[in-house]
Structure 1
Amino acid sequence: MIKAMGEANVVLFGEHHNNPIVHWLQYEATVDLSKSNKLTLGAEMFEADNQTQLNQYLAGKIDHKALDTVARLWSNFTTDYKPLVDFAKDNNLKFIATNIPRRFASGVFRGGFENLETLSNEEKTWVAPLPIKYDASLPGYVKMKEMMGGHGGDNLPKAQAVKDATMGYFILKNREEGKLFVHYNGSYHSDNYEGINWYLNAGDPNLKIITVSVVEQDEIEKFNSEEKLKADFIIVVPTTMTKTY
């Protein structure tokens, strides 16, 4: 896995947000990759309008307590994401806040992509360029709508798509030749080579992308073959594994 990742341009390292095994593997893989690659890191867990505050933390201008005050950190930041951010800080690596501000995604859920047109010029810099490219027929978006029984209508998958589009946009914007961009995101944002992967390919079809997904199974001795083509590498975790929340 490390060898394949090291030969890629972008790694989309999918996770289950509350699974500590995967967070540990993300950290260990990043450390290993740094030994033979120049890295840029990025994550869904940081929203683009918090990039300035994140940069201040990376530069040592503010501490963890201050970052928690001025940025919208996830509740499991300290246990699950701080080690990755601190690795970037200690090794002078860029760490990119790739996600759309959640209030903007909520706006899409309420009123569709049209809501994004009401944003100020500054606010639009924290979102993928408008109009948002969107393919409603992608299986992941269709499945999401079906799973919710139609609740949220067409805007539910659009709210997911605007996150995928924005993460893809900021990965492409901050990717540098000769550097590997390692991105941490919920696996559903890149499973089945859709989501972020689709937007990356739309922006640069020549990118070499490696994806990782996570599957939880009651029994891990036999892999559920239905999951086989979900990603380039799949981490199988027992359902009994401790959760961080």
Structure 2
Amino acid sequence: MRKLIVYFLVITFSVVSYAQNKPAYKLYNAKGNKVSYKKMIKKMSKADVVLFGEHHNNPIVHWLQLEATKDLQTQRKLILGAEMFEADNQNELNDYLAETIDAKALDTLARLWNNFKTDYKPLVDFAKDKAIKFVATNIPRRYASQVFRGGFEVLENLSVEEKSWIAPLPIAYDKTLPGYVKMKEMMGGHGGDNLPKAQAVKDATMGYFILENYEPNSLFVHYNGSYHSDDYEGINWYLKKGNSSLKISTVSVIEQENIKKFNKENKLKADFIIVVPPSMTKTY
């Protein structure tokens, strides 16, 4: 009998050990050192703005965004915002938060991403339940498309109302920022100078609406594709240009086959880097 108990204990320990060796993600700091979730939340809670970068189709990152938001809400007054909502849909988003329209109506009236229900609705519903302000920060995509075709100059032709949905003109722009240079190189010159400009007008607009809605002694948590804030550029650059005293905490995500050993080339990508296996199930 004793041998049987020992056998089952060994089997159980082996199963647990095997499971522990298959983590879904690992957290690292900017220097590539492992860091705990608790420490990440502690640092985030002391910031003015958190730029929580994501891969749009990664479920682990979306789960971490929701859990981090819940934990931060117990420590700070929060304001939330997201790339996934365009500024001209703010009224519809407000109506949903105020429960004057339901989810079906929001889907009809606003331009929601295809993965809204699985990946972003939980965040919006949390804001609704806790009466937290949620800001639609992104430029309406049609205007970014116009910039891609005709440069910043096309924005001058917008109406007064349309201009209220984008960063104030003229759009500040530094074409030498490594992220914009790399974007142009990766596309082999396709789109010319207007490709990074279309990216910049999104970054500028998101930064503008974060600054416009930020309140002293609050924490603004913003959800965006990691490429909009990686390497402390993009939205981060515009925030610092608008308010150099802001304390900003950034998050990025990378995929690695071996998530237990940080790839050195990804150092300084963000304050916190979520490493996930490429085999992780995608939401689309």
Instruction: Give the deviation of 1:219 after TM superposition.
Output: 1.6
Given the alignment of the two structures, is residue 239 of structure 1 paired with residue 278 of structure 2, yes or no?
yes
Query: Residue in 2 aligned with 1:39?
Result: 78
Query: Residue in 2 aligned with 1:172?
Result: 211
Bigger Cα displacement from structure 2, 96-105 vs 221-230: 221-230
Query: Residue in 1 aligned with 2:184?
Result: 145
Question: 2: CA distance between counterparts of 1:113 and 1:226?
Answer: 33
1:69-93 CA-to-partner distances (Å, cap 9, x unmatched) read 0000000000000000000000000
Report the TM-score, using the length of structure 2 for normalisation. Answer: 0.86
1:151-208 CA-to-partner distances (Å, cap 9, x unmatched) read 0000000000000000000000000011100000000000000000000000000000
Given the alignment of the two structures, is residue 201 of structure 1 paired with residue 240 of structure 2, yes or no?
yes
Given the alignment of the two structures, is residue 223 of structure 1 paired with residue 258 of structure 2, yes or no?
no
Given the alignment of the two structures, is residue 135 of structure 1 paired with residue 143 of structure 2, yes or no?
no
Partner of 1:243, secondary structure, is: coil
Partner of 2:79, secondary structure, is: strand
Equivalent of residue 143 in structure 2, options 104, 109, 114: 104
Q: 5+ residue gaps in structure 1?
A: none
Question: 2: CA distance between counterparts of 1:218 and 1:155?
Answer: 35
Percent of residue pairs bearing the same amino acid type: 78
Given the alignment of the two structures, is residue 89 of structure 1 paired with residue 128 of structure 2, yes or no?
yes
Question: 1: CA distance between counterparts of 2:86 and 2:208?
Answer: 13
Instruction: Give the deviation of 1:221 after TM superposition.
Output: 2.1
Partner of 1:211, secondary structure, is: strand
Q: 5+ residue gaps in structure 2?
A: 1-39
Report the TM-score, using the length of structure 1 for normalisation. Answer: 1.00
Equivalent of residue 123 in structure 1, options 153, 162, 167: 162
- RMSD of the alignment, in Å? 0.3
- What are the residue-to-residue correspondences of 1:23-34 with 2, within 5 Å? 23-34=62-73
Partner of 2:167, secondary structure, is: coil
Partner of 2:101, secondary structure, is: coil
Partner of 1:66, secondary structure, is: helix
Question: 1: CA distance between counterparts of 2:262 and 2:45?
Answer: 26
Question: 2: CA distance between counterparts of 1:217 and 1:78?
Answer: 27
Question: 2: CA distance between counterparts of 1:117 and 1:161?
Answer: 16
Query: Residue in 2 aligned with 1:72?
Result: 111
Query: Residue in 1 aligned with 2:55?
Result: 16
Partner of 1:62, secondary structure, is: coil
Question: 2: CA distance between counterparts of 1:163 and 1:217?
Answer: 28
Instruction: Give the deviation of 1:218 after TM superposition.
Output: 1.4
Instruction: Give the deviation of 1:57 after TM superposition.
Output: 0.1
Instruction: Give the deviation of 1:60 after TM superposition.
Output: 0.1
1:123-159 CA-to-partner distances (Å, cap 9, x unmatched) read 0000000000000000000000000000000000000
Question: What amino acid sits opposite 2:224 in the alignment?
Answer: N
Partner of 2:221, secondary structure, is: strand
Name segments (4+ residues, structure 1) moved above 2 Å: none
Given the alignment of the two structures, is residue 6 of structure 1 paired with residue 6 of structure 2, yes or no?
no
